[in-house]
Chain A
């Protein structure tokens, strides 16, 4: 009985982690796999040496810290907090965490091995999170600050009409990307590259703060007509795939750019 309850608690923990903490595994690992396609040989070698594995294998490490009591403070790193002018304004959000971790990686000789490993794993994960639409909080968009329930139509009319209940976070964290849930991260990364590769250099330009502002610009129009309890049409949900994939592309390319820079 005790064992069963433990299993149930574990299953629930995994589930609610998926719901609460950013991209699901496929999302994070696709971003890591995409970055790996664009690392310089030197950066790839150094990442491998520090991590003892691939970026993809380390993409979910931070998720376990979000729910541990002594590292709960890391939960705020899964967001980019922007003012109405899309400037980063928090010292505790993902943008600040990325800047600190980048600094640790750039000056790795001054830090312990474990700190460097943690910084690199954090960069891999948080770069993904701040490029998730539901994780960009914009001051003048109240809906962006807290997840809410809404409905998605099945696209049918009359008696065959039905709607499914979801949340804004779940939609962007897992539901949309799970349309391709049998893809391997490497294959999804290949697809993202195929569709968005031409914009790689454009996406990689600027600083971490510029990247967050760019995400703010991507997110703003997506909130038009969006409010708690609203009904999203099937067409609208289909059309969300393109911005989602653009966000995956941005995250993957920018992760590669950051790592190529610090591991020159």
Chain B
């Protein structure tokens, strides 16, 4: 009977045409949506003028196009490699933090750039500022014990990385972007200012320090459904915190670019 129900559940998922896009879908849309609510009117208008869309519409653009030859180079811009000192490896081009900094520098003279370049740069920033805050997108390259491997979900092997990518869908399967806004866009101006203080380098370091915890909360080869309630509560809190950080920092970056 149990197997039959599982089969029906599987059919239901496939039949309805739903696909788990994870942080690549839900998380990115939510970060962009909350960011848009926190843009200055001027920055919001500028973004819309260049994108001809809202921010969330293009939030996963980098994921959809990353394997297309002209954008192949960007395929490795989705995570932040860090060293043992928790600083991101700034010499590596395959580094979202480095690329965010480069684009922010370029966008200081956005008025002199072609519209299509500004548009693409915005799509990169919307995605990469989100990605650098995804818990599994900080890569501890020099620490083999923090390598990402497999976990178990209901007895089946799954990727540790994918679990965190999909964590918004796992913890809030029915929420829309508006539900996320109501629940997460709740910080005071002082709290937002605190999140946005520092530089992209500092943000990467903060993530590198704090995201070590996810390897303790969800050890490799662990059955997720057997984790204690407290672990799930903590993992959900991390997922929400990182969405908030990504959203407010994205708004901050765009407000800075378009303040002139």
- B174-215 near A? 1/0 per residue, CB < 8 Å: 011110100000000000000000000000000000000000
Instruction: Kindly list chain B residues whose C-beta atoms are within 8 Å of the C-beta of A179.
Output: 21, 25, 60, 64
Shortest Cβ distance from A16 into B: residue? B15
Instruction: Kindly list chain A residues whose C-beta atoms are within 8 Å of the C-beta of B103.
Output: none
Provide the bound-state CA to CA distance between A166 and B14, in Å.
Answer: 9
Q: Does A238 contact B (CB under 8 A)?
A: yes
- B1-42 near A? 1/0 per residue, CB < 8 Å: 100010010011001111101000110011001000000000
Instruction: Kindly list chain B residues whose C-beta atoms are within 8 Å of the C-beta of A234.
Output: 64, 67-68
Shortest Cβ distance from A171 into B: residue? B17
- A157-198 near B? 1/0 per residue, CB < 8 Å: 100000000100011011100111111100100110011000
Instruction: Kindly list chain A residues whose C-beta atoms are within 8 Å of the C-beta of B178.
Output: 184, 187
How near does chain A come to B45, taking the closest CB pair, in angstroms? Answer: 11
- We find that the number of chain A residues with CB closer than 8 angstroms to chain B is 34
Is there contact, CB below 8 Å, between A191 and B53?
A: yes
Q: Does A12 contact B (CB under 8 A)?
A: yes
A174's contact among B1, B17, B29, B57, by CB below 8 Å, is which? B17
Of B56, B57, B66, chain A has the most CB atoms within 10 Å of the CB of: B57
Q: Does A113 contact B (CB under 8 A)?
A: no
Instruction: Kindly list chain A residues whose C-beta atoms are within 8 Å of the C-beta of B101.
Output: none
Instruction: Kindly list chain B residues whose C-beta atoms are within 8 Å of the C-beta of A187.
Output: 33, 54, 56, 177-178
Known: A15-B11, A18-B15, A182-B25. 4 other contacts (CB 8 A): A24-B16, A157-B67, A180-B56, A187-B177
* B residues whose Cβ falls under 8 Å from a Cβ of A: 1, 5, 8, 11-12, 15-19, 21, 25-26, 29-30, 33, 48, 52-54, 56-57, 60, 64-68, 175-178, 180
Q: List 24 A-B contacts (CB under 8 A).
A: A8-B8, A12-B12, A12-B15, A15-B11, A16-B15, A24-B17, A155-B67, A178-B17, A180-B57, A182-B176, A183-B56, A183-B176, A183-B177, A184-B178, A187-B33, A187-B177, A187-B178, A190-B54, A194-B52, A195-B52, A234-B64, A234-B67, A234-B68, A238-B64
